[in-house]
Amino acid sequence: MIKSDKKENVQENETNLLKEKIAELEKKEFRCRTLFETTGTTTMLVNQDMTIEIVNQEAFNMTGYKPEELIGRKWSDFVMSGDLEMMKEYHRLRRSDPGKLPKKYEVRLVNKEGQVRNVIINVSLIPGTYQSVVSIHDITERKQIEKALYESEDRYKKLFQFSPDSIIIHDMDMNILDVNNKAVVEFGYSKKELLEMKVFDLHHETELKHSAQVLAAMKKKDMLNVESKFVRKDGSVFWAEAAPRKYTLGSKTIIHVAIRDITERKQAEEELSIAKKRLNIATSILRHDVTNDLVVIKSALDIYQDQNDKTMLDEIEKRVEKSLKRINMHREHENFVESYKELEEYDLVTVLNEVTQNYPGIKIAISGTGEVYADDAIYSVFENIINNAIKHGNTKKIDIEIDEKEKYYEIRFKDYGICIPENIKDQIFDDGFHYGKKGHTGIGLYNIEKTIENYDGEIEVADNKPKGTIIIIRLRKIIKR
């Protein structure tokens, strides 16, 4: 009796284990079947004799046949006669010499209603068998769009191909469907290369987010006008005005984009912005210089009134004339900025001689010669460097050395007065920085630095051993023919 009970327990355990395995297999089969049915593409299992063993429901959407109508039939029954021999040869070679075959290729199938469907077929053999898994992607709509585009080519070609603007036609997934001659020239890619790309591939990396936003907007609108940066094949970047227009061809939505290079306009806008900054700096310089002259005039007037020193009248007259000259120079500089003309050629010795004659009590020596690109603000730059050395460095001597470098002339203003304190050297070019008992620094090295930068130049400060300061300016030299 005990043996009988044990035997029954063993059988029961084996039965339960078998049920668990069957349930697990059923679960796996369900997952596989679900995946098979929901791939989104027609998928089938094909035997060596070309018969269809299994096919998913998606086949009905493409062929019009229900899965049960397809199972047991040969796939060759649905292939266009013009592609049939190629398909049969591929089927044979796949089982004998698969290395000679592409895994993916385009063929034409005929559905239940006799309509031709253009498809891309992807085939793989199941390892260890002669059965193959076939997935079929219907590209009929894409082919119809291509056909529709080329059917209208006679009317469209001249406007499209010979447009002065680059024209790109793409779908809502940004796949490029067609481009004109100008686009090929502009971007530097061949037409074949462009047709294998997405529009995103042509955008500068900083514009990808903006491009995605434009695409999202085009899903709601029929047209837009935007500005964006594009990248050519050689890596060069250009600004363009893009005008996307949305159309429908057949059942497919496409976007026609005209792209016009506006790099020169953007550069002009940038130059205008720079010109405005230059004008602001020049105005700041003028305001500061005239204020300094007015302070001197006020001091001279006080001395004249208190001491009846008539020499002060000469100083006042000289300062008035100096201020008027500054205003005239500013007016000329303002005209220069407003007309967007290029920087002019200046002879350094001529400028320095004119500036240094205002300091007869200071021993100033100029050595070297050179011509540089600058504007009229260069007079105030040099004058205020000298003025700062005298007022804040208490120097009685200044050596100005002009040294020619490869791309620049280096102008070194060497004084022999008080050195600039080490703890403020990193701050003297900051906007609004002040030091000293009088609480100001002449023109302010901030404005001097910004002016020099507008000339594509450089400025730095160094110690003059054993005593004094050196202001070093580098300006681009004139290139002679």
Say if residue 474 is in the same domain as residue 346. Answer: yes
Quick check: 150 pLDDT over 80?
no
Q: Select the more confidently predicted residue: 15 or 413.
A: 413
Q: Are residues 367 and 457 in the same domain?
A: yes
The reply to whether 248 and 370 lie within a common domain is no
Assess contact for 239 and 269: CB atoms under 8 A: no
| Rounded (5°) CA angle 52-53-56 | 85
Q: Which of 337, 357, 381 is the last residue of a domain?
A: 337
How would residue 2 be classed by pLDDT, with cut points 50, 70 and 90?
Answer: low
pLDDT for 184: 95
pTM of the model: 0.36
CA distance 98 to 91: 9
* Parallel/antiparallel/unpaired status of strands 226-231 and 237-249: antiparallel
Is residue 93 domain-shared with residue 51, that is, in the same domain? yes
**What is the C-alpha separation between 192 and 233, in angstroms, rounded?**
13
Residue 478 lies in a domain: yes
| Average pLDDT for 141-169 | 81
Domain of residue 364, residue span: 342-481
Instruction: Give the range among 62-66, 90-94, 253-257, 431-435 with minimum mean pLDDT.
Output: 431-435
Residues 92 and 155 in one domain: no
Tokens linked to 461:
């400060």
Of 27 and 223, which is predicted with more confidence? 223
Question: CATH number, domain at 449?
Answer: 3.30.565.10
* Inside any domain, residue 5: no
The answer to whether the CB of 40 falls within 8 A of the CB of 56 is no
> Of the residues 261, 294, 328, which one is the last residue of a structural domain?
261
The domain tally of the chain equals 4
Q: Is there a single domain that holds both residue 58 and residue 107?
A: yes
In this structure, the answer to whether residues 370 and 462 fall within a common structural domain is yes
Residue spans of alpha helices (H) in 38-152: 58-63, 67-70, 81-96, 140-151
Domain stop point among 239, 261, 283 = 261
245 lies in the same domain as 288: no
β-pairing, 397-404 with 458-463? unpaired
Instruction: pLDDT band for 481, please (50, 70, 90 cuts).
Output: very low
Phi-psi region of 183 (alpha: psi -120 to 50; beta: other; left: phi over 0): alpha
> Within a domain: residue 269?
yes
User: Is residue 7 in some structural domain?
Assistant: no
Both 233 and 362 in a single domain?
no
447 lies in the same domain as 396? yes
Between residues 223 and 4, the one the model is more confident about: 223
Q: Are residues 268 and 256 in the same domain?
A: no
Both tokens of residue 138?
């219907």
Shared domain check, 317 and 247: no
Q: What is the mean pLDDT of the chain?
A: 83
Q: Which residue type occupies 98?
A: P
